[in-house]
Amino acid sequence: MRETVIQTKNIVKRYGKFSAVDDISISVERGDIYALVGQNGAGKTTLLKLICGLTPPSGGEIGLFGRNSPAQLGAARSHMGTMIETPGFFPYLSAKENLEYYRIQRGGKVKAKVEDALEFVGLDKTGGKKFKSFSLGMKQRLGLALAIMDDPELLILDEPINGLDPMGIKEFRDVILKLNREKKTTVLISSHILGELSQIATTYGFIGKGRLLERDTAGELKEKCRSSLRIDVDNAELASDILRSQMGCENFHVSGNTLQIDEKSDSPELFVKALVEGGVMVSQVFRSGISLEQYFIKLIGGIEHA
């Protein structure tokens, strides 16, 4: 059984009568990349701030690495790296100089950690280039370098890919995967961009109006959003033989003259081409299932009308 790194139990954060976080319980296990998904204003940032100790809870419990007393939580947070708000980097200093400032400020004694962190996020070749001249993607990666400089066991990131272009998103995503695979870093990351998180997440927590709507593993979510093809043909027996022999397809079933195919469904034209060339008449093709984004919208729609 894997170790639970983060455990919140019925955590609440109120501002007057408004509950920014309303009775949320989540569990993040060691080695997870846990994606916290929700619209802007759903409560993601507030929940992360509660976990990081940046704001006190109004109720409920927080546990980190199996510890939950105030003194223990303070010690446990020394094993965390965070990137919740944009760090205050100096515009006229280089990447190395900025990290060196924070290393000294934190009392760090190992100078090599600065260079190691910059190399890990791909900023070791920036030389004397000033922070003010960095692209947004470079700035985000420098923020990540600061967060991982002390080799944290747990990394908490709030909307780190927001505003990045496609290349910047890919670069950031690659670094997160590298951290998780090579350094076994547990990651809790929030975003409203589900499509990007789906390429790295092992677990999802969907949040709406301060509440946890649903928790799914990557496998469970994939199954819920599984797409399939329905193809109507004139000869189901011949069509089945063609699917097996020419398409290498085994995951399908037949009902009358309709084939339902549960694999390789993103390329219906390949199935139609193979069937027609094999002498099968195709009358209709349907695609069923929903995308990750559609599933999320369906969840949010449920709470909007609750």
Cβ-contact 103, 109 below 8 angstroms: no
Residues 187 and 239 both lie in one domain:
no
- SS3 of 87, please? coil
Which range marks the domain in which residue 76 is found? 4-223
Residues 177 and 271 both lie in one domain:
no
Within a domain: residue 299? no
Residues 216 and 253 both lie in one domain:
no
pLDDT tens digit string along 131-175? 999 998 899 999 999 999 999 999 999 999 888 888 888 888 999
Residues 108 and 246 both lie in one domain:
no
- SS3 of 162, please? coil
Within a domain: residue 303? no
Q: Where would I find the H helices in the chain? A: 44-52, 70-76, 95-105, 112-120, 136-148, 166-182, 194-197, 218-224, 236-247, 268-277, 292-304
Cβ-contact 188, 8 below 8 angstroms: no
- What pLDDT sits at residue 263? 66
Within a domain: residue 14? yes
pLDDT tens digit string along 120-137? 999 999 999 999 999 988
Within a domain: residue 296? no
Within a domain: residue 304? no
The DSSP code sequence of 92-157 is TSBHHHHHHHHHHHTT---THHHHHHHHHTT-TT-TT-BGGG--HHHHHHHHHHHHHTT--SEEEE
CA dihedral angle for residue 140, residue 142, residue 146, residue 147, rounded to 10 degrees: 30
Q: For the chain, what is the mean pLDDT?
A: 89
What is the Cα 41 distance to its own chain's centre? 18
Within a domain: residue 281? yes
CATH code at 251?
Answer: 3.30.70
Residues 257 and 173 both lie in one domain:
no
**Buried b / exposed e across 4-27, counting CB within 10 Å, b at 16+?**
ebbbbeebbbeeeeebbbbebebb
pLDDT tens digit string along 45-80? 999 999 999 999 999 999 999 988 888 998 999 999
Residues 256 and 218 both lie in one domain:
no
Residues 167 and 258 both lie in one domain:
no
Residues 232 and 122 both lie in one domain:
no
Q: How many domains does the chain have?
A: 2
CATH code at 148?
Answer: 3.40.50.300
Residues 116 and 20 both lie in one domain:
yes
Within a domain: residue 293? no
Query: Last residue of a domain, which of 223, 252, 270?
Result: 223
Residues 68 and 53: their CA atoms lie apart, in Å, by 12
Residues 122 and 175: their CA atoms lie apart, in Å, by 9
pLDDT tens digit string along 80-99? 999 987 778 999 999 999 99
pLDDT band at 305 (very low <50, low <70, confident <90, very high): very low
Within a domain: residue 243? yes
Q: Is the pLDDT of residue 306 over 50?
A: no
Residues 168 and 79 both lie in one domain:
yes
Q: Could you identify the residue written with the tokens 């309303």? A: 22
Residues 241 and 263 both lie in one domain:
yes
Residues 125 and 243 both lie in one domain:
no
Query: Last residue of a domain, which of 223, 248, 270?
Result: 223
